[in-house]
Chain A
Amino acid sequence: MALLTLLAIAALVLAGFLAGRQRAVGLRTAGGPSLHSLPAYHGLTTSATALVAAGAAALAAAFVLGASSIAVPFAAAIAGTAAAALAYSRIETNFRARNLFESITLVVLIACSGVAVLTTIGIVLSVLFESLIFFREVSPIAFLTGLQWSPTASPPSFGIVPLLTGTFLITFIAIIVAGPLGLLSAIYMAEYATPRMRGILKPLLEMLAGVPTVVLGFFAALTVAPLVRRAGEQLGLSVASESALAAGLVMGMMIVPLISSLADDIINAVPQSLRDGSYAMGATKSETIKRVVLPAALPGVVSAFMLAISRAVGETMIVVMAAGLAANLSFNPLDAVTTITVQIATLLVGDQEFDSAKTLSAFALGLVLFVFTLALNFIALRIVQKYREQYE
């Protein structure tokens, strides 16, 4: 029935457009009053009216009689035809079809952006309310300060500190890896590489950003983690088979393209006049980069780092595979640790009842994560705004 309804609406829209335009063309007479709007606008308003009426009727019919009822396409066709006929009858030479159609377009544009905003608000509210239910069972203070995370034990304990330290540790390793690599490659691409070299290198780096994280995850678990372990054994260190270091290294590789691409754009945005000013003082290229270009780009580079950090904090697959699930309270990069996102994933995998503290704790974790990344994005945004004022 859905297909039939869609076909009916499409036919109405097309017919409305053609009929409306035809009628407007017919109103043009030699020496007579000229049309206010072009004929196509009359067609568009007619078909837009038909679309709205038919769509509303179809939804109403589906709601009252059920989506599979034969009445749905009929309701759409009847309502659409009636609306189109009404709009058709209103077409006159001085009918302001263009203005009407532009208002309709504006409403459509607002509705589209509204969908994204409303969805975000909906997610936040749902996470918030489920978290409140969770906090009725577990006190927020115990949740935020507890040192033990074992939601499946009896009695379960929901202390988030080991997850925070794990998240922090892996993110820290990732940034230590990706920061210098990303920044230095950005400096090379923006300042030293020939345009041809840059044209090859930048898409290649951005391709790395397109590798699905699940692929990076098994690369981390099956290649990097054993390598780290063997290297550690050579040095006489005991390394867990799943370690924060392995996950952090691969996560660092994941965010290198993000940092290098953003930093490259930011360095390129530093006005050439500043470089010229420095060269004209007898500065070498490296002096110019170190003393003029990078300081000028610094706020932007910092915000690129912030975005990279919030990306790393939110990453799940690599950590699930490479860092393990054990909620150890440890700052040793050679231990297995776990992160907030991994725990959310494991809490909700498989069949779950949605009223237990164990499941609800995922929402509380989500809330913490959301607040954390929101704060990071906010800081990054503020820095970017400050950066914009810099050369004006």
Chain B
Amino acid sequence: MNMIPQTIQTPTTPDILAGKPVKILARNVDIHYGDKHAIKNLSIDIPDRAVSSFIGPSGCGKSTFLRAINRMNDTIPGCRIAGDITLDGQNIYDRAIDVVQLRAKVGMVFQKPNPFPKSVFENVAYGPRIHGLASNKTELEEIVVASLRKAGLFEEVKDRLDHPGTGLSGGQQQRLCIARAIAVNPEVILMDEPCSALDPIATARIEELIDELRQNFCIVIVTHSMQQAARVSQLTAFFHLGTLVEFGDTGKVFTAPRDKRTQDYITGRFG
């Protein structure tokens, strides 16, 4: 195993990192798509049991880096990655790491809700089934109900668990996807603009949920909405042109950014 000392190398350590263990650590990460240099020499520390948000203009590489954390970029031809990303000190690009097990630990919620064309129950039961987490039907039902409860969806769907998941509203579908992700007991949940396809009420519901989930999970969220980043996250990272310009406590990044580019972005001068 490639062990990396978990020292924090930012000029000023964000307060949030002082009291929390570091869950994900990246050092000198470079990501290329063919000729495109999507992420340039990125280093970051992401705390456990907190929400970290990635903000920045489109094409700045924030989603690319998010997808590197559970190796979803592996499926994209021509994508190369250099540097180290570790989860609990273990390099996730190490040969010894099974990507299937990594993704069971690092769940993901996508921009557009993507429930499987199966029933609500089967959507949530999908992960526990493939990972053999339940030994019988009762256990499986318990996991499904518990996950739906944690995702704040159970009360709305308890009478139609056998209805297709695709028949739910957009916000419900997204919460179903969150329930599906937490059903396999992950440690990290990555969210790639989870509210960009939702109306403000459904968005508020998801944001509430994210706030509850941070008690138990390390959450990383990519968002285009700076208000959302300010509302839900404790740590904010600002990306620009493939570079991590600044990361720190959300309050500080939004009120007293150290870098001019961050300031220009959050005050709406570009982006």
Contacts and interface: CB of A to CB of B under 8 A. Distances in A.
Contacts of B180: 277, 281
Interface string A267-300: 0000101101111111110010001100110000
A2 B241 CA distance: 72
Given A274-B114, A277-B177, A277-B180, 15 more contacts: A276-B110, A277-B110, A278-B126, A280-B108, A280-B181, A281-B103, A281-B130, A282-B100, A282-B104, A282-B184, A283-B126, A283-B130, A284-B100, A292-B116, A295-B117
B126 A281 contact: yes
Contacts of A279: 72, 75, 103
Interface string A213-231: 0000000000000000000
A271 B114 contact: yes
A63 interface: no
A105 interface: no
A271 B181 CA distance: 19
A354 interface: no
A273 B112 contact: yes
A169 B130 CA distance: 39
A332 interface: no
Among the interface residues A271, A276, A292, which one has the most CB atoms of the partner chain B within 10 A? A276
Among the interface residues A283, A296, A390, which one has the most CB atoms of the partner chain B within 10 A? A283
A277 B166 CA distance: 14
Interface of B: 70, 72, 75, 100-104, 107-108, 110, 112, 114-118, 126-127, 130-131, 166, 177, 180-181, 184
Contacts of B130: 281-284, 287, 291
A283 B114 contact: no
Contacts, number: 68
6 interchain residue pairs of minimum CB distance:
A282-B104, A280-B108, A282-B103, A273-B114, A277-B114, A281-B127
Contacts of A273: 110, 112, 114
Give the interface SS of chain A, mostly helix, strand, loop or mixed: helix
Contacts of B72: 276, 279-280
Given A276-B72, A277-B177, A390-B166, A282 B127 contact: yes
B202 to A, nearest CB: 18
Contacts of A390: 117, 166
Contacts of B103: 279-282
Contact of A295 (B100, B110, B118): B118
B217 to A, nearest CB: 15
Given A295-B117, A296-B116, A281 B104 contact: yes
A279 B99 CA distance: 10
Nearest to B118: A295
Contacts of B104: 281-282
Contacts of A287: 130
A282 to B, nearest CB: 4
A327 B116 CA distance: 49
Given A279-B72, A296-B117, A291 B107 contact: no
Nearest to A293: B116
Given A273-B112, A291-B126, A296-B116, A280 B166 contact: no
B107 A281 contact: yes
A204 to B, nearest CB: 23
Nearest to B99: A282
A29 B70 CA distance: 72
Contacts of A271: 114
B258 to A, nearest CB: 34
Interface string A95-118: 000000000000000000000000
Among the interface residues B102, B112, B116, which one has the most CB atoms of the partner chain A within 10 A? B116
A291 B128 CA distance: 13
21 contacts: A271-B114, A273-B114, A274-B114, A277-B115, A277-B177, A278-B116, A278-B126, A280-B103, A280-B107, A280-B181, A281-B103, A281-B104, A281-B180, A282-B184, A283-B100, A283-B127, A292-B116, A295-B116, A296-B116, A391-B117, A391-B166
Contacts of A283: 100, 126-127, 130
A279 B166 CA distance: 19
Nearest to B115: A277
